[in-house]
Structure 1
Amino acid sequence: MNLIFRWLMRLSATLVVVIVLGVAMVYYLASRSLPEYDKVLDLPYLTAPVEIVRDNANVPHIFGQADTDVFYALGYAHAQDRLWQMTMLRRTAQGRLSEIFGTATVEIDKLIRRLDIYALAGASVEAQDARTNLMLRAYATGVNARLDEINTSALGRGAPEMFIFNAPVSAWRPSDSLAIVKLMGLQLSGHLNHEVLRAQMSLAVPDPARLADILPDNPGSGLTALPEYSQIVPGVQRFAETLPRDDHPLSPFKARAFAGASNVWAAAPSRSASGGTLLANDPHLGFTAPSIWYLARLQLQSGSVIGATIPGMPVVLSGRSEALGWGLTSAGLDDQDVYIEQVNPENPEEYRTPDGFKTFEKRGSIINIKDQAPITITLRWTENGPVLPGTQYNLASITPPGHVAALAWTVLSPKDTTMSAAMRLMEAKSVHEGMTAIEGYIAPAQNLMLVDRKEIAMKMIGAMPRRDARHQSQGRLPSPGWIEANRWQGRLPYASNPEFIAPNGGILGNTNNKTVDRPFPNHVSFDWGDTQRVQRWQRLMQAREVHTRDSFIEAQLDTVSFTARSLLPLIGAELWFTGEAAPEGTPLRQRQRALTLLAEWSGEMNEHLPEPLIYAAWLRSLQDRMVRDELGPLARELTHVEPLFIERAFRDVDGAAVWCDVIQSALVESCADMARLALDDALIWIEESWGSALESLRWGDAHQATHDHPALGDVPLLRYFVNIRQSTNGGDNTLQRGLTRGTGPAPFENVHGAAYRGVYDFADPDSSVFITSTGQSGHFLSRHYDDMAQLWRRGEYIPMSLDEELARAAAVGVTVLRPLR
């Protein structure tokens, strides 16, 4: 017995030693790739020494004698901190994820290949101006200098993920940076989804007049009635099945609700307490760890610029110089059209055009798959754009037999000068210069807010498709591609893009709300991104005669839901304080407790309160009950509550209250009935998920921000090291926007919001502030991986200063890059 015990002890000790050695070895290999910030390097292709001074938040301040050296150093810094992220963005744009992740990402690669994003980016290199091409080459050379250093110095392959996935990294090229621009356009464009969903709804809703309820137009002038989709595209099946969406964390194809959003606003000197202009900007994208944003300061010959960059792209997308500040929001421009192309029944290699049948342009593309045989797909194009498979975007559900769907999209330009325009913007010294500099910007369409020391302005930037006034669907529904009137006729001139310069009121802003109401075809869009946040923003801006940097921060962090304050009185009108007190422990008593809490609630979506969770669950259950019987499986496409739909129904606008009646039941249910039933549903769900003690609920427990690592976030044990989870304020329709997941067992997780916030004060530029949601480093062993996360959660910022002495005073390291002699 003693012998057995001794051997068990020896085996246990050996096992512990092996585990400890294994962990130590893994840590050693992973830590080898941690960047060293205090060093001197001799590198080729530099013209003079350049310094990368990293302040105490690890923001690089890059000082050089030539702009090419500065962009070289930016490429080096990006690769130091975000190499894995950069290579994944590039692989995504190339359609080469499956070489690393196997069959799980094949469908992503297929669709990316069909869009041909990477080839179009390569073709666009020649379209850039000479200076931009020079800077792109310098940036790529800096990235490659870091890759060479990793290889020669055995720096752990540059990132821990490189060991796990054994992903070879090729040299960086200028076309790679242009491909990432197009990839961002893919994440920010949602009109393809809108068109398909509108067509599906047109086929599914029994009464065509009800389409305006479930997919309402933004408030403004009315739209002339559109024909039913089946009238535009005969032969399409009614009530076609919708396919479940593949939400792979590495997929750039986002659901309709996640197609990009942002806030930006500015104050002229007349509305500023200090007499200087103010600008606040917080772009909204899906949360990841690390954040997509990377803060940097560049000392250019034209002057310093500081702000938010995206690793892989050598431009400051939101930021400021000494003279000019700029910020962005998604413009909502309708820059995508789906075309239904008729295949020649006599020859499947041809499709119908206004001039008869023509041959598809075709090319084969090989997709290599890890541990599997490669597959070859055939890419096809029509005159309108690439042909997309019916399995994507639910296109099969709206495409009749004998037809295919093609996509026209401004991002798919082989002469895309967006990068050159962004480069020129960084050199501008005034609002006027900035608006002129950005003219060559193509996609993704944005509202660009500009402020100099005296003036504010907003200009929509991006190519606007020129549509024929006779277009059958006005771009709102897929249309036959062989009808000339449906086809694009080039693009509108830059001068026709909406602009707002020096408004009399001294305040400009955009929350993705409707900006203009011009008649088709000179319109911008029929589908905008916001009807709710703008209401709260207007109230906050009008509440003060003059604003300060701190009042702009206060607005940026505001968590009061206009939606809750406007809808709750409607849906609870016949439920508030009615009936006698019910016995304790009954469903009726629970409903009364919930209604009492909501009746006394201000609408603030604070993480510590129970009311936001009760409200959100009630609205979600209410919309689901209202649409499920009419839409069936299509109801799952409505992942988030549409406030205008709820309001139309409860106000019975044009008979919209009919949505409250359950078609299958013999009774005629009222909207009050539906509200009561939905509240009971919500309380049952809350009890099953969070418990029955309503007063003890916390919105923040359900509304956790999910900064997850796209590749390692689901790996057992490792996910606790790479994911960043935080209890957060806000909601779908608050200015501090925290868009919820909308589906699955955790529908209220915060998955999309302002991963970057900046407030720029031109009365005292160095008092400007900014922040990202995670940290500067993409290395999960680095202290800079998540050192900004808690600051961001608490609504705090770090200095956004161009003071060189301040940057050097508390630097975490200074890297000197010297020309190789």
Structure 2
Amino acid sequence: MSGLVKWLLRLAGGAILLAVLALLGAYFLLSRSLPDYDKTLSVPGITAPVEIVRDNANVPHILGQTDADSFFGLGYAHAQDRLWQMMTMRRTVQGRLSEVFGTRTVKIDSTMRRFDLYTLARQSVAVQDAETLAALKAYSDGVNARLNEINREALGRGAPEQFLFNAPIAPWQPADSIALIKLMAVQLSSHLENEVLFARAALALENPDRLADIMPLAPGSGIAALPEYAALFPGATWSRIAQTTPERGDPLSPFKRRAFAGASNAFAAAPSRSASGGTLLANDPHLGFSAPNIWYLARLNLTSGGVIGGTIPGIPAILTGRSARLGWAVTSSYLDDQDLYIEELNPDDPNQYRTPDGWKPFRTTRSIVEIKDADPVTLTLRWTENGPVLPGSHYNLAEVTPAGHVAALNWTALSPEDTTMSSAIGLMRAQSVQDAIDLSRLYIAPSQNLTLVDQSTIAMRTIGAMPRRDARHESEGRMPARGWLPENRWQGTLPFAANPEFVAPSGGILGNTNNKVVDRPFPMHVSHLWGDTQRVHRWRRLMQGREVHTRESFIEAQLDTVSFTARSLLPLIGADLWFTGESAPEGTPERLRQRALTMLADWNGEMNEHLPEPLLYAAWMRALMDRLIRDDLGPLSREFDHPDPIFIERVFRNVDGAADWCDVKQSAAIETCTDTARMALDDALIWISERYGQSLESLRWGDAHQATHDHQVLGDVPLLRHFVNIRQSTSGGDNTLLRGRTRGGNGPDPFHNVHGAGYRGVYDFADPDSSVFIIATGQSGHFLSRYYDNLSQLWRRGEYIPMSLDPDLARAASVGITTLLPTDQ
């Protein structure tokens, strides 16, 4: 018996030893790709030595003696820190994810192939100006220099993910960088989904008047009555089976639900409103969270002067940041740059579709999607004069496409002569607000609001191509239209002068929270859909509450967690519930409701992570939205998975009979809005009790509102997810300036913070080197690097790091200096 025990112990010891050796071997292989920041390397493609000085936050200060050499250095630095991210984004826009990830991503690839953005990017290379072509070429050479170094020195395939997925890496090309801008357009687009959802809601609602409630326009605008969607296609049959859209739920998917299709804050102050006497600028673009973060901080030395701020790996430009003389910031403009067309098929020849000039054949090509561990799929891609034909499964198009028809998309991002990259590269060399505005003429897509400051002037300009629509357009772009009618088709684009512009406002303050910026009638309207109707009220109060502003007051505004929405909705919804009813014994639902109402009555609307009231409020609004719409919309109600403040306000103020939503159609009784509000609060308290217990005073909003910086492909892997995911308790909410957009839906974690400011920057041009920056995770995409999450706690606490254009300051606390030498030296 003792001999058996000894052998079992030996076997166990041997297994443990083998496991330890395996872990050490894995660590050795994975750590080989950790970049060495302190070295000298000879590379082809540069004309003089290039220094890449890494400051103590691992921000690269790229000091080239020519512009091309600096762009080369940026490409090399991006590939050092974010190679896997760059290659995954390139595969996404090419429609080649399935070669690595198998059947999981076939639907994503199928849709991206139909857009054919990569082909359009390759065609757009030829229309860039000479300086941009030189920058793209130099940047590509820098990326490829790092790839050659990885291959030559066996540096762990360049990224740890490369050992887990067979993802061969092709050399980087100029078209790849242009394609990534087009990929951003995919991620920031929401008009296609909204058009489809508008039509689906129109078909689902018994009373067409209620469409204005559930799909409301931003306040302050007017629109003529639209036709009923079904009436556009007499005798048509409609699919009532909701199509699944799994491509939107995959972390690798660029197709974001409309609640996550971009947001941002930017605001500026003129010298007259600045305590320092210089212009002020703040920016925090909002995108989906991931690890690593999409943003990467960098400084470039150009012959026109240094530039510093946020880049996106793969794109050789400071997209938001500053130079010594100019600051620029971006926010989603929500310009309506997409229109969906329903194209009629020829009943005698399904290869033809109807046009104003009769039947025409589709432009057709074949495309093969290679799939890991599965047979390839051959796609037939079709284009009409209005754009690519999309499958019925995409965004539930089958539900709004009658039999005998297909859907096609027109979109400014589908331009083969896209000069957006030239605009972005030129902006870094601009010396004044007017220079920057002139350069933004080249910008095509995705449309943005560009906020600018120089030494004396502040301005904001909507940039991006604006479609020219006919005033007779039957749906005004709010829902799909018949593609064969001339009045529905685009007539090119509007002149640049049509884009909204605000220069040197008399009040000395301007900004944007994705709110409506102009009130113009169709077709000059810019958009019927705006991303924000709430945050702007709090921003306006903070800006007008001071005669002059400082860098610190702008930081305070960026980090503000007071919800104007909560302050305005709670008194309205609870008007007949506050301090009413008889006292109830402890332990009863009535007593729990009374406690919750008492807590909310004393709450000031601050969405602080340490408070219980934000969770009570958020759970109540979520339950209320569900109760108001589920019986009217049925399964379609799942698409409205975030409470809409305008909708709720219309209902409880009974605007144009909107209180009809409060009555449950399937019940015999007639429920009032007070009844619905009370039942929704009970629903919320039951959910909270089951999840967190009945001790309401000990609840923490931050326990539910965790920021989820998850790795896109390893984030769900057991054990490994604890090393690659970054989770943080956070303040803020859907409608606060410190925006933390919640996941929504009916899943286990509806209040996880999944979308917000991955980058923040505040610049004071009275002392530009006092400017501060932060990103949400860290500079490195390598999860074994100490720079993978080194900035995350600073970001969570609302802290920043200084970033100066003074190279001596970067050198003084550098963590390494990489010197690139021309091969002939």
The alignment's TM-score, normalised by the length of structure 2, stands at 0.99
Q: Contact between 1:237 and 1:397, CA under 8 Å: does it hold in 2?
A: no
Name the counterpart of 1:531.
533
Distance of 1:761 and 1:169 partners within structure 2 = 42
Distance of 1:238 and 1:360 partners within structure 2 = 24
Name the counterpart of 2:8.
8
Name the counterpart of 1:783.
786
1:180-213 deviation digits (Å, cap 9, x = unpaired): 0000000001000110000001111111111001
Q: Please say if 1:207 is aligned against 2:207.
A: yes
Secondary structure of the corresponding residue to residue 348 of structure 1: strand
1:734-783 deviation digits (Å, cap 9, x = unpaired): 00000000021110000000000000110110001010000000000000
Q: Which amino acid aligns with 1:522?
A: M
Name the counterpart of 1:28.
28
Name the counterpart of 1:619.
621
Name the counterpart of 2:399.
397
State the Cα distance separating 1:235 from its structure 2 match. Answer: 4.0
State the Cα distance separating 1:64 from its structure 2 match. Answer: 1.1
Secondary structure of the corresponding residue to residue 387 of structure 2: coil
Distance of 1:643 and 1:424 partners within structure 2 = 40
Name the counterpart of 2:725.
723
State the Cα distance separating 1:240 from its structure 2 match. Answer: 2.5
Name the counterpart of 2:468.
466
Distance of 2:242 and 2:634 partners within structure 1 = 10
Distance of 2:11 and 2:406 partners within structure 1 = 64
Distance of 1:670 and 1:242 partners within structure 2 = 31
Secondary structure of the corresponding residue to residue 110 of structure 1: helix
Q: Contact between 2:58 and 2:787, CA under 8 Å: does it hold in 1?
A: yes
Q: Contact between 2:67 and 2:302, CA under 8 Å: does it hold in 1?
A: yes
Secondary structure of the corresponding residue to residue 18 of structure 2: helix
Q: Please say if 1:267 is aligned against 2:233.
A: no
Match of 1:541 among 532, 540, 543: 543
Name the counterpart of 2:253.
251
Name the counterpart of 2:110.
110
1:266-315 deviation digits (Å, cap 9, x = unpaired): 00001101111000000000000000000000000010000000000000
State the Cα distance separating 1:800 from its structure 2 match. Answer: 2.1
State the Cα distance separating 1:243 from its structure 2 match. Answer: 2.9
Secondary structure of the corresponding residue to residue 266 of structure 2: strand
Distance of 2:471 and 2:823 partners within structure 1 = 61
User: Identity over aligned residues, as a percent?
Assistant: 69
Name the counterpart of 2:606.
604
Secondary structure of the corresponding residue to residue 176 of structure 1: helix
Secondary structure of the corresponding residue to residue 375 of structure 2: strand
Distance of 1:57 and 1:26 partners within structure 2 = 27
State the Cα distance separating 1:239 from its structure 2 match. Answer: 7.8
Distance of 2:601 and 2:169 partners within structure 1 = 58
State the Cα distance separating 1:242 from its structure 2 match. Answer: 2.5
Q: Please say if 1:639 is aligned against 2:641.
A: yes
Secondary structure of the corresponding residue to residue 467 of structure 2: coil
Q: Which amino acid aligns with 2:41?
A: L
Distance of 1:596 and 1:4 partners within structure 2 = 68
Distance of 2:429 and 2:749 partners within structure 1 = 45
Q: Which amino acid aligns with 1:642?
A: D
Secondary structure of the corresponding residue to residue 217 of structure 2: coil
Name the counterpart of 1:79.
79
Name the counterpart of 1:800.
803
Q: Contact between 1:594 and 1:694, CA under 8 Å: does it hold in 2?
A: yes
Secondary structure of the corresponding residue to residue 500 of structure 1: strand
Q: Which amino acid aligns with 1:594?
A: A
Name the counterpart of 2:494.
492
State the Cα distance separating 1:130 from its structure 2 match. Answer: 1.2
Name the counterpart of 1:241.
241
Name the counterpart of 1:361.
363
Moved over 6 A (4+): none
Distance of 2:236 and 2:622 partners within structure 1 = 31
State the Cα distance separating 1:167 from its structure 2 match. Answer: 1.0
State the Cα distance separating 1:509 from its structure 2 match. Answer: 0.6
Name the counterpart of 1:677.
679
Secondary structure of the corresponding residue to residue 457 of structure 1: strand
Q: Contact between 1:756 and 1:771, CA under 8 Å: does it hold in 2?
A: yes
State the Cα distance separating 1:150 from its structure 2 match. Answer: 0.1
Secondary structure of the corresponding residue to residue 273 of structure 1: coil
Q: Contact between 1:203 and 1:238, CA under 8 Å: does it hold in 2?
A: no
Name the counterpart of 2:820.
817
Q: Contact between 1:237 and 1:398, CA under 8 Å: does it hold in 2?
A: no
> Cα gap change, 1:196/1:437 in structure 2, threshold over 3 Å: closer, same or farther?
same
Secondary structure of the corresponding residue to residue 596 of structure 2: helix
The alignment's TM-score, normalised by the length of structure 1, stands at 0.99
Q: Contact between 2:243 and 2:398, CA under 8 Å: does it hold in 1?
A: no
Q: Contact between 1:511 and 1:534, CA under 8 Å: does it hold in 2?
A: yes
Distance of 2:310 and 2:351 partners within structure 1 = 47
Q: Contact between 2:238 and 2:402, CA under 8 Å: does it hold in 1?
A: no
State the Cα distance separating 1:414 from its structure 2 match. Answer: 0.4
Q: Contact between 1:233 and 1:479, CA under 8 Å: does it hold in 2?
A: no
Name the counterpart of 1:178.
178
Name the counterpart of 1:284.
286
Q: Contact between 1:479 and 1:486, CA under 8 Å: does it hold in 2?
A: yes
Match of 1:754 among 757, 761, 770: 757
Name the counterpart of 2:767.
764
State how 1:339-488 maps to structure 2 within 5 Å.
Answer: 339-488=341-490
1:357-398 deviation digits (Å, cap 9, x = unpaired): 000000000000000111100000000000000001100000
Name the counterpart of 1:571.
573
Q: Which amino acid aligns with 2:760?
A: R
Distance of 2:312 and 2:352 partners within structure 1 = 41
Q: How many residues align?
A: 821
State the Cα distance separating 1:221 from its structure 2 match. Answer: 3.1
Q: Which amino acid aligns with 2:741?
A: L
1:632-687 deviation digits (Å, cap 9, x = unpaired): 00000001110000000101111100000001111110000000000000000001
Q: Which amino acid aligns with 2:565?
A: T
Q: Which amino acid aligns with 1:752?
A: H
State the Cα distance separating 1:579 from its structure 2 match. Answer: 1.8
Distance of 1:463 and 1:235 partners within structure 2 = 37
Q: Which amino acid aligns with 2:342?
A: I
Q: Which amino acid aligns with 1:160?
A: P
> Cα gap change, 1:633/1:698 in structure 2, threshold over 3 Å: closer, same or farther?
same
Match of 1:656 among 655, 658, 674: 658
1:424-472 deviation digits (Å, cap 9, x = unpaired): 1111111111100111000000000000010000000000000001101
Q: Which amino acid aligns with 1:204?
A: A
Name the counterpart of 1:121.
121
> Cα gap change, 1:149/1:624 in structure 2, threshold over 3 Å: closer, same or farther?
same
State the Cα distance separating 1:236 from its structure 2 match. Answer: 4.3
State the Cα distance separating 1:233 from its structure 2 match. Answer: 3.3
Secondary structure of the corresponding residue to residue 524 of structure 1: coil
Name the counterpart of 1:306.
308
Secondary structure of the corresponding residue to residue 376 of structure 2: strand
Q: Contact between 1:92 and 1:109, CA under 8 Å: does it hold in 2?
A: yes
Match of 2:700 among 695, 698, 701: 698
Q: Which amino acid aligns with 1:600?
A: D
Q: Please say if 1:736 is aligned against 2:738.
A: yes
State the Cα distance separating 1:238 from its structure 2 match. Answer: 5.8
Distance of 2:239 and 2:636 partners within structure 1 = 9
Q: Contact between 1:203 and 1:239, CA under 8 Å: does it hold in 2?
A: no
Distance of 1:257 and 1:225 partners within structure 2 = 26
Q: Which amino acid aligns with 2:159?
A: A
1:578-599 deviation digits (Å, cap 9, x = unpaired): 1222100000000000001100
5+ unaligned residues in a row in structure 1: which ranges? Answer: none
State how 1:701-716 maps to structure 2 within 5 Å.
Answer: 701-716=703-718
Name the counterpart of 2:512.
510
Distance of 2:335 and 2:414 partners within structure 1 = 15
